[in-house]
Amino acid sequence: MRIRNAAVAALALAAAACNDNTCPTESPQVSALADCTEIAGQLVSYPVRLCPTCNQTISSCDVQISGSTIFLDPKVETCTSSNSCPPACQSSPSTCNFTAPTTPGPYTVSVYDPATNATLDGVLTVVAPGGAESCDFATAGL
């Protein structure tokens, strides 16, 4: 009877884990960051060109601002093995959303690319209200 109860408990635990609709997250390959000009203190949707594998789904982007550097940390959910699907770079970028600093000036935007074990940098130029907004990828990043 004890063995049966232990087996039932183990199956119940496994079933509970299967009902959890989240998958492990990881950092995807990154191919490019845009250079943008945005209004001080306003919401920014900063474009990041990712190269997820077929088993990765974009789930979030954490943002930390420290001085004149903005660190982006995009995450993907990885639900199955990617043994048969290499990364494929997106033609349409994903976005990391955050509020622009309130002080006008240039800010370095950095993101870690695990495929190259390096940091890619872009530029966010923050302008006073009334300035023009724009975002463009450098030709080399395409």
Strand runs (DSSP E) across 12-130, as ranges?
25-26, 29-39, 43-51, 56-66, 69-78, 94-99, 105-113, 118-127
- The domains of the chain are located at 23-141
**Predicted local distance difference test score (pLDDT) of residue 10:** 39
* pLDDT (tens digit per residue) in 45-72: 999 988 877 777 778 999 999 999 999 9
| Global pTM value | 0.76
